[in-house]
Structure 1
């Protein structure tokens, strides 16, 4: 794919594919909408300086008033009045890409509120029990310089009993979501896999981003478990999203 387009910033890793779920949400959208883009790899140690240098807005502000710079960030050179658009935060970027490039919609008409709630649930509830398992494993997959810059992620991985307890909590959350999504089954327009019935949408990309995270940092333990849960529905969802998983 020739590059005449958007730059997506991501973190280098030793995993076969990138793992950061918030960044995957945006990569999915770019691939789904067939927008030309390329990935620029930035080590953790360089994120703040890099983002400041391109004029990216901070993703949040600390209690002491200091700005926080984090990924994902995109630069779209085709902005209004010929000025590049630089955006941070996955939700802001998703809204921008949908409104600027409406072809192949990720928010079917009238679905933004419910999809936003679904994505919030995936991020804030479903993924919570996974954090103590996956954050240390993710840290181990960073280049050495990034590991040194990001010591908070270097907590020791959970031990046997604690890990099993965390996986049980995660399994309960996935089962809850599966029960909700199963309410679509029986509707002749639904395939029983995706959140909105038949076509993939932002909700599926948010959920699949978590699946990729598990698969990349815990392939033999985590993904081996999750892909078998709920009669293999998460493996089927990942397969449904596979064609939008290229990394440019």
Structure 2
């Protein structure tokens, strides 16, 4: 789609890696913004930033540091034309959900909206989806998936980014272990640990989708609201790309959880079984739409550029 109302395209800042082509984007955090840009069909430029360069770049544009966690993080968009009176510094916006609301406001007529009407329901849906997905991956919500994923991150980063990632993440670990050592001695233990949370997500997705279709919110489709992709689906796809970045075999195994054809030795007696996982349905839909492979036009901004 064209955007004649803007003199410059939105500029998207992502975290660099060694992965080839469109697969260079690996982070579930930045992917929430990239996939939304792609799904909305917004033309954009892009720039990959090595981990140690993120803070200096954002600080140079007057970005306010985060109150918790790491002080300066991506994703971010640079677009002075629409951010002049919106954010400190007037040029760069960070935090994927703030960016999502901004993009919905700028492009209210695109087929995909991060938070479609009724907004109170779509925002509640996002929070539910986020909770279920974080319960699979992130330790703050008892998720165990980080044990499978974190050791796979340093090898895919550029050399400076890898050194920075290992050093800063080790500093946050209770025992100061390198993220290369965060996995269990036997990876099967970590796969077993995430299984209940993945199955809980499958049930949540299926029941939510069925209720949305029954209520007439959308037609039949693979997304949380049937035919209507929202931010919850974008976060799921972002998580799946993260698994793919850790290895195609990781993604294949994750997609198969709960399916009829999954290896029998991995299942527990009495588990619900799906002909095709709702997660796989979303992944296939994103691929069919071309949202996983679309990229922006390369461009570089430097510290304090006008």
* Contact kept? 2:137, 2:145, Cα under 8 Å: yes
* Structure 1 position 192, deviation (Å): 5.5
Q: Structure 1-normalised TM-score?
A: 0.86
Match of 2:230 in 1: 201
Are 2:10 and 1:6 equivalent residues in the alignment?
yes
* Structure 1 position 178, deviation (Å): 0.9
Match of 1:107 in 2: 115
CA distance in 2, matches of 1:206, 1:99: 19
CA distance in 1, matches of 2:106, 2:35: 16
Q: How does 1:106-185 map to 2 (within 5 A)?
A: 106-110=114-118, 111-128=121-138, 129-151=144-166, 152=169, 154-156=179-181, 158-161=183-186, 163-183=187-207, 184-185=209-210
CA distances 1:24-70 after superposition (whole Å, capped 9, x unpaired): 110111112221211111101111001111222323346xxxx7001
* Structure 1 position 195, deviation (Å): 0.7
Higher mean C-alpha deviation, range 210-219 or range 113-122: 113-122
Aligned-CA RMSD value: 2.6
Match of 1:244 in 2: 291
Match of 1:47 in 2: 54
**Aligned partner of 1:24 among 31, 47, 54:** 31
Match of 1:95 in 2: 101
CA distance in 2, matches of 1:196, 1:218: 29
CA distance in 2, matches of 1:122, 1:213: 16
CA distances 1:58-88 after superposition (whole Å, capped 9, x unpaired): 23346xxxx7001111112321669954211
Secondary structure in 2 aligned to 1:7?
strand
Uncovered stretches (5+) of structure 1, i.e. residues with no partner: none
Q: Which has the higher helix share?
A: 1
Higher mean C-alpha deviation, range 77-86 or range 113-122: 77-86
CA distance in 2, matches of 1:80, 1:180: 36
Match of 1:230 in 2: 258
Rg larger in structure: 2
CA distance in 2, matches of 1:122, 1:178: 9
- CA 1:239–1:192: 2 relative to 1, 3 Å: same
CA distance in 2, matches of 1:99, 1:85: 17
CA distance in 1, matches of 2:80, 2:285: 31
* Structure 1 position 158, deviation (Å): 2.3
Match of 1:77 in 2: 80
Match of 2:141 in 1: none
Higher mean C-alpha deviation, range 72-81 or range 130-139: 72-81
CA distance in 1, matches of 2:228, 2:241: 19
Uncovered stretches (5+) of structure 2, i.e. residues with no partner: 139-143, 170-177, 260-275, 297-306
* Contact kept? 1:87, 1:93, Cα under 8 Å: yes
Match of 2:173 in 1: none
Secondary structure in 1 aligned to 2:78?
strand
- CA 1:11–1:81: 2 relative to 1, 3 Å: closer
